[in-house]
Structure 1
Amino acid sequence: MFRKSHKSNDKKRSLVVRDQPRSPISEQFRTIRTNIQFSSVDENMQVIMTTSSGPTEGKTTVNSNLAVTMGQQGGNVLLIDADMRKPSVHYTFRLPNHVGLTNVITKQRELQDVTHSTDIEGLDVLTCGPLPPNPSELLGSQKMKDFLMEARQEYDHIVIDTPPVLAVTDAQIVAGLSDGVVLVVDSGHTEKEDARKATELLNHTNAKMLGAVLNSQERKASNYMYYYG
């Protein structure tokens, strides 16, 4: 299990890895990145999906900072907002969201035409784009599979943000297309039963569960660094 601890009053949607690269929290995100890379020696963890059991658990903040750490390490990284219900990656990076993933999947636009470069070298962001009436069907389509195959050829690492597992089936669908899944759990908000149920649903998709990030944990003087167990 991956565990990340930090104070619960950290600024929402903060790119702390970019803005405070020497902080303990940034170091924890770098350790998460390293543990993901070493989580399966014999398999390539190219496409990583992050999700949570419910809303407001910090999954977008976690995956955005994770994508930044991957970009800082080198190589080409693509952060995809596949939350077609309530997208928020564009808020985190202060990007427009007029076009994006939905346009690419429906063959209205080409991938390279709608990705956004960021101030992190090597990191591109693909926002959600217009909200479709049928998110689950779109994510489960052959066109989505074709898009990810194209993205795999263009990028070394791909990080995908999805809706909460217990809310809709979208995350389960994307999990089946990913190499590994990270579940974000809020220590002061997530019910144990909800986290357990979310894990079971993801396991039913044969997704490879890499671990969980424990979010919003109060930092203690003797126990404030990142743990792996």
Structure 2
Amino acid sequence: NLAGIIAFTGKKVLIIDLDMRKPKIHRGFGVKNDKGMSEILVGKNTVKDCTHQSSLKNLDFITAGTLPPNPSEIIVSKEFDETIEALKKTYDLIVIDNPPVGLVTDGIPVLSKADFPIYVFKANFSRKNFIQNVDRLINENKLSKLSVVLNGVESNNRGYGSKYGYGYGYGYGYGYGYGYGSKAYTSYYTDDGVFNKKSIFDRLKSAFKKNESTED
């Protein structure tokens, strides 16, 4: 949602799937995951080879690519830093779908480098005790700008459940901002992991068209 909304403002936005264990971005956009960030970081393909244009103007994306045996190693490599620095010259905002922080360590280096890291909880899904993970991330990794977002809250729900915290697939730790970023497009999927036929971009387009018609 975040990347799509910003792209609508005229900013050039890139989404990168950096979850090389359970990637999802390719499913959300309906493309193959045969080449992406893993191929870029090992020198098999170029950024140009792996960059896709979405149906939204100003919004591009790079999938995770084939799953490597050593995702942590290639994410902390100098090739990753160099790739991001090069992409910053083309894009106003880079949004990175980070691996779940707390279950694996892949995402922590990205959070440390992000301009605006975000840790996301899903209401009534994530576990309460994982809230402590936020303090650990801040204290151990010196994340001075870490923000927390609670999503999935129904507007008519006055009393939240007791399962806030962290869960794979929704309770991700993210980082996003100019140069580094993250926002998992879990809104593409139903809770059982099935891709919703009408993507968030279709819904965004419909909303904007409806607003334009109202104004006219």
Give the alignment's TM-score, normalised by structure 2: 0.69
Higher relative contact order (CA closer than 8 Å, sequence separation 6+):
1
Give the aligned partner of residue 147 of structure 2: 211
1:180 equivalent among 108, 116, 123: 116
Distance across 2 between alignment mates of 1:115 and 1:95: 11
Superposition pairs of residues 67-146 of structure 1, within 5 angstroms: 67-146=3-82
Question: Structure 1: 5+ residue runs without aligned partners?
Answer: 1-64, 224-229
Which SS does the other structure have where 1:131 is aligned? coil
| CA drift at 1:183 | 1.1
Give the aligned partner of residue 58 of structure 1: none
Q: What is the identity, as a one-letter code, of the residue corresponding to 1:151?
A: L
Which SS does the other structure have where 1:154 is aligned? coil
| CA drift at 1:211 | 2.1
Distance across 2 between alignment mates of 1:207 and 1:93: 31
Aligned partners of 1:172 and 1:202 also within 8 Å: no
Larger radius of gyration: 2
1:166 equivalent among 85, 92, 102: 102
Aligned partners of 1:175 and 1:202 also within 8 Å: no
Which SS does the other structure have where 2:108 is aligned? helix
Question: Structure 2: 5+ residue runs without aligned partners?
Answer: 160-216
Distance across 1 between alignment mates of 2:36 and 2:105: 21
Distance across 1 between alignment mates of 2:122 and 2:13: 26
Structure 1 residues 158 and 204, CA, compared in 2 at 3 Å: closer, same or farther? same
Give the alignment's TM-score, normalised by structure 1: 0.65
Residue 193, structure 1, aligned to residue 129, structure 2: yes
RMSD (Å) for aligned C-alpha atoms: 1.9
Aligned partners of 1:82 and 1:101 also within 8 Å: yes
Q: What is the identity, as a one-letter code, of the residue corresponding to 1:71?
A: A
Identity %: 35
| CA drift at 1:104 | 0.9
Which SS does the other structure have where 2:73 is aligned? helix
Distance across 2 between alignment mates of 1:127 and 1:151: 15
Question: What is the number of equivalent residue pairs in this alignment?
Answer: 159
Aligned partners of 1:165 and 1:198 also within 8 Å: no
Give the ranges of 4+ consecutive aligned residues of structure 1 lying more than 6 Å apart after TM superposition: none
